[in-house]
């Protein structure tokens, strides 16, 4: 059932763009940002490259570590290392996710969607 729901979310955004139904756009983009599946070829085909890339930016721009909270990519505390130790790239063992788990209805991307897409609605 999830693939059908994912397609409906995708169609909601595609139709809102095609027919300029602005009240569907932000909620539709937020729904797409919340889904578990990453931005893929079908998103690019249906929404266009620009929209798909912006959607990916929304999903990935707000990063956190589930154990320690928000991560500053230049200063990350790794278990067993002194606090404040600078590491250029997080090690592979550091799990990075968007703020809130993918697919969580409590993860609110509304403000980020508006900013990335330049929307005021």
Residues 71, 14 within the same domain: no
| 73-91: pLDDT as tens digits | 333 344 455 555 554 454 4
Measured between its terminal Cα atoms, the distance across the chain in Å is: 31
Query: Longest C-alpha distance within the chain, in Å?
Result: 55
Tell me what pLDDT residue 97 has.
36
Residues 58, 69 within the same domain: no
Which residues fall within 8 angstroms of residue 37, CB to CB, at 6 or more apart? 6
Residues 77, 105 within the same domain: no
Tell me what pLDDT residue 27 has.
93
Mean pLDDT of the chain: 74
Low-confidence residues of the chain: pLDDT under 70: 1-6, 62-106, 121
Tell me what pLDDT residue 86 has.
52
Which residues fall within 8 angstroms of residue 107, CB to CB, at 6 or more apart? 33, 34, 98, 99, 100, 101
Residues 82, 117 within the same domain: no
Which residue range(s) make up the domain with 30? 1-62+100-121
């Amino acid at each position: 059932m999830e693939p059908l729901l994912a397609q409906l979310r995708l169609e909601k955004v595609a139709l809102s763009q095609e027919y300029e139904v602005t009240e569907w756009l932000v909620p539709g983009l937020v729904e797409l940002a919340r889904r578990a599946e990453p931005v893929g070829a079908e998103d690019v085909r249906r929404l266009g490259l620009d929209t798909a890339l912006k959607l990916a930016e929304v999903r990935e721009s707000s990063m956190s570590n589930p154990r320690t909270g928000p991560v500053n990519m230049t200063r990350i505390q790794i278990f067993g290392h002194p606090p404040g130790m600078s590491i250029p790239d997080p090690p592979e063992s550091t799990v990075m996710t968007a703020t809130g788990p993918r697919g969580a209805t409590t993860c609110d991307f509304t403000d980020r969607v508006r900013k990335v897409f330049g929307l005021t609605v």
